[in-house]
Amino acid sequence: MSYEMSLGDIAEVLMGQSPGGESCNEEGVGMPLLNGPTEFGVKSPTATQFTTDPRKKCKPGDLLFCVRGSTGRMNWAQKEYAIGRGLAAIRGKNGYSNIYVRAALETSLPSLLAQATGSTFPNVSRDLLTALKIPQVTLEISNKVSCILESIESQIFNLIDTNETLESICQSIFKSWFIKFDPVYANQQGIESSGIDALTTLMFPNDFENSELGLIPKGWAVGKIGDLILQDKEAINPGAYPQTIFDHYSLPAFDVDKMPAKNFGQDIKSNKTILRNESVLISKLNPKTPRVWLPAEVAKNSICSTEFIPFSPNASIGSTRSFIFCLLNDPSLLLALSQHVTGTSSSHQRIRPSTITEMRYVLPTAKLINAFTELANPLLDKASLNRLLIRDLQQIRGVLLSRLISGKLDLREIEEVA
C-alpha cells in the first residue's frame, strides 16, 4: 500500500485559538467554548465554558482533535463551538468524508504522536497534521470504507446510549429508595408509592427516627460505607500465572472504554489487583470527576491497574454488586469524595480508599437491598452484555479498518460481513 498521500490532500485543518480571558464565563453567555479533552465525551463534547469573543470556530460534524496534552484524542462536534489552542477542527475536502478522514488519521496516529514536540505536554502543529502521510486510497473506496465504519460506529453509539438509559433507571430507583426515602414518605402519608409493588412497599417502614445523619427510616442503622463494601486487595503474583493473558482494566490515554489484555510472565513484578466476581471499580485519579465502572465480565484472570480502587459487596450483611455500583455512582457521594482529595496538582490528586470506606452512611435492611437487586440486576446484566458487544464491534472496526486501508480484503466480502 502506497503512502503518497498526505492528510492535507483530503482534509482542512483549523487550529484553535484561545479567546481573551475576560470574555470567558460559565453562565452560558456567548458561544460554547472547548479547550481540550476534559470536555470530551464518548462521542461528542460538553462545554463547561462560554465566550463572547470566539477567535476560531468549528462546524457541526467536524472532527475535534487534541493537539496538546492528551494528544490524539478525538470527538465529533455536534454543533458550532469556539475552540481553544488545545484543539484542532478537521474536516474532509475534495469529496472525502469526515468519517474517512478520521479513519485515515487513526491509521497513521502512532507516526504523528512520535513526531509531537514537547516532553511534558506534547504538541502537534498544523504542519505536522497536514503533512502526515496516510494510505493512498481512491475516493470511491474511501466512500465505501466510510459507509461500513459509519454503520459499525452507529451500532456502538446506540449501545452506549442504551447503557446510559439502563444505568440511569437503576440510579433513579436507588435514589428514590435509599437517598430520598420516597416509599417511607408514601407509607407515612398512607398513599401509594409510585413505581413500586405492594409487597416491596411493605418492606419499608412508615415512619422516621433521629440519627447522627438526621432523619432516617425507622429501624435502619447508621454505619460506614465500609460496612457495605470490601476492598479487593489481592495483588497478582505473576509467578503463579506464567504467560497468562489477563483482562486488564485501566484508563488508557486515548479511550477509557478500551480494555487491553496484557501478558504477564514469571519474571514480571506487578502491583495489579485481582478482581473478584462481584468487583466494582471506582477511579482514584482525577477525583473531582470519579468514574465508576462495572466490568463486563470478571473471571479469575481479570486484574485492574492502580488507577482504580476495586470494591466487592459485603455479602454478610446482604450487600450486592448492583447495590454498591449505584451507591458509588450516587452524585451526592461523588461530590463528597471530590472535596476530600489528596495531592496538590491535578495529575497527583487521588482518593484514598479509606476516604470512601470511613464515610458515614445509612444502612438499609438486607431485604430491601435484595429487592433492589432483583430490579437492578437484569438491567445491569444487559448493560454488561452490551459492553461485550461494544468491545467486539470495536475490535471488528479495528480489523476492518486496518485491512480495508491496506487493501488486503475484498470490499464486497467485507460489506456482506458488515
Instruction: Mention every residue, 6+ apart, whose C-beta is less than 8 A from residue 26.
Output: 48, 49, 50
Grid-cell match 465500609, residue found: 226
- Residue 45 backbone class (left: φ over 0; alpha: ψ -120 to 50; beta: rest): beta
DSSP string across 33-57? EE-SGGG--SSS----EEESS-SSE
Coil, strand, or helix at residue 169?
A: helix
Among 109, 63, 112, 69, smallest CA distance to 89 is for: 63
**What three-state secondary structure class fits 128?**
helix
**CA 197, 202, 208, 209 torsion-angle sign:** negative
For the chain, residues with pLDDT lower than 70 are: 1-3, 118-121, 238-245, 250-270, 285-291, 295-300, 343-349, 404-418
The DSSP secondary-structure symbol of 344 reads: S
**Read out DSSP for 148-159?**
HHHHHHHHHHHH
- CA distance to 57, 158, 166, 170, 388, per residue, from 163 (Å): 32, 9, 5, 11, 12
Cβ atoms within 10 Å, residue 166: 19
pLDDT confidence of residue 260:
44
Residue 265 has what pLDDT? Answer: 45
The C-alpha atoms of residue 337 and residue 354 are separated, in whole angstroms, by 11
Looking at the DSSP assignment, which residues form a beta bridge with residue 365? none
pLDDT score of 253 = 36
Write down all domains in the chain, each with its CATH number in brackets.
Answer: 5-136 (3.90.220.20), 162-376 (3.90.220.20)
CA distances to 167, 274, 280, 393, 394 from 258, in Å: 19, 18, 17, 11, 9
Q: Is the Cβ–Cβ distance between 125 and 116 less than 8 Å? A: no
> Is residue 269 classed as helix, strand or coil in its secondary structure?
coil
β-strand partners of 9: none
β-bridge mates for residue 6, sequence order: 133
Q: Tell me the pTM.
A: 0.81
Query: 3-state class of 364 per DSSP?
Result: coil
* Residues, the chain: 418
The enclosing H or E element of 163 equals helix 139-174
Provide the pLDDT for residue 266. Answer: 42
Beta strands 133-134; 5-6: pairing state: antiparallel
Taking only the tens place, the pLDDT of each residue in 188-207 is: 999 988 889 889 999 999 99
Question: What pLDDT is attached to residue 18?
Answer: 93
Q: What pLDDT, on the 0 to 100 scale, is given for residue 382?
A: 92
